[in-house]
Amino acid sequence: MKTLACCLLSVTLPAAFAATPARVARVGELEGKVEVQLHPADPWRPVTRNLPLIESAWVRTAPGARLEMELDDGSAFRLTGDALCELSDYTRLSTGQRVTVLSLDHGVAYFTGEPDRRDALILVLPGAQATVRAGTRVRLEARDDATQIAVLEGKVRFSSPGAEMDLAEGEMTRVEKASPTRFFLYREIAPLDTDGWNEQRDKALATSGSARHLPGLRYGLVDLDANGSWTVSNDFGAVWKPKVAPGWTPYRNGQWIWYDEFGFTWVVLSDDSVDAAGLVTALHAVNSSLADSGFGSMLLCTLIALRDPKGRSLALVYLFKRGTFYPFAPIAGKQRDNLLELQVRDSLGADLPIEADLTRWFAVWGAPGL
């Protein structure tokens, strides 16, 4: 029998031990009412500047609102007015290739970017899509009666049920919902009131003075320009200095927000034997080593994953900071077998310090072994 145990830490492991990191988009410029749904079952909540966006996140803007999202490859995706979009695919393969699919459900959007030649970047609208393979600026419209794709600069590969072709700079296509197998090609682009704002944002991102100091950073550069200046230090080289009033102290104003997708990393121990005592000793050694190295405050919990002959999963979770245990029994659909958890609590209560506060029996969805 193979026993699996793991520790959950809020630290980043070396690349040799870490899985392919999640890609993150960043909320930049915004105006008006903008909301986000990070996960399918989450409620909609207001968007704040610098909010990280991940794959499957939905973003919507109200009439009169505007939003700019900066992607990790240096591209920008913008929404204006009543619009709704999804980061349908936002992953990085083990080869390093980025796969990006941005879906516009309705409204007006703009894309500006130049993907790496090995990356895949697709803009999806109802009834049509545009594949971006080189530097380009595109306007997307998903209206009630039709979809329109206009190439402001560069070139894209246009696809619809009725055609597949290259769409060059200055051209626009229209696919009507009543006749999705037909399309219309226009040799000129009718302007929209929001085109000026999009061009203004493109110029701001392209002329950032911080870019030369931070060549590896692809987003947030304009905010550095607007809120500080660069100076040269004999000890540290180029240093960014924020524009603040005398007596300013970092982190005094504002708030910290926990973000599940990025905060924790699992350290996994596995044992093919049935030596439970040896596994517990190994786990204790890991906990002690991390604590002795100054990571005790970052160690959240230790988990031992079990499975019975019926295939039911159960984890015995140890809360490092509280010195208590609790059972976690996940079932399909991100539900919990509460009856089994209470039965385990009653069975082990005489032998282990069980966490009395049930609100601290937090779920550890996706933990190794479960």
How does pLDDT run across 239-279, given as a tens digit for each residue? 998 888 887 776 666 666 656 655 566 777 665 555 666 77
**Mean pLDDT on 96-119:** 95
C-alpha neighbours within 13 Å on the C-beta side of residue 147: 25
My answer on whether 190 and 216 are in the same domain is no
My answer on whether 158 and 55 are in the same domain is yes
My answer on whether 237 and 322 are in the same domain is no
Task: Kindly tell me if the per-residue pLDDT of 5 is higher than 60.
Answer: no
Instruction: Classify residue 24: in a domain, yes or no.
Output: no
**Mean pLDDT on 14-28:** 64
**Do 153 and 136 meet the contact criterion of CB atoms below 8 Å apart?**
yes
Q: Write the single-letter amino acid at 329.
A: A
List, for residues 175-210, the tens digit of each pLDDT value: 999 999 999 999 999 999 999 999 999 999 999 889
What pLDDT, on the 0 to 100 scale, is given for residue 276? 63
Greater confidence, 190 or 312?
190
Instruction: Classify residue 366: in a domain, yes or no.
Output: no
Cα separation, 205 vs 220, whole angstroms? 9
Residue found by looking up tokens 């988009």 in the block: 25
| Phi, psi for 191 (deg, rounded to 5) | -75, 155
DSSP structural state of residue 358: G
Q: Which domain holds residue 148?
A: 32-202
**Mean pLDDT on 87-103:** 93
My answer on whether 211 and 70 are in the same domain is no
> Which residues pair with residue 58 across a beta bridge?
37, 86
Q: Is the pTM of this model over 0.75?
A: no
Task: Kindly tell me if the per-residue pLDDT of 15 is higher than 70.
Answer: no
**Do 147 and 175 meet the contact criterion of CB atoms below 8 Å apart?**
yes
What pLDDT, on the 0 to 100 scale, is given for residue 12? 36
> Which residues pair with residue 209 across a beta bridge?
none
My answer on whether 149 and 185 are in the same domain is yes
Pairing verdict, β 299-307 and 3-9: antiparallel
Helix spans in the chain (H): 195-206, 221-227, 260-263, 276-290, 338-348
**Mean pLDDT on 127-138:** 96
Instruction: Classify residue 249: in a domain, yes or no.
Output: no
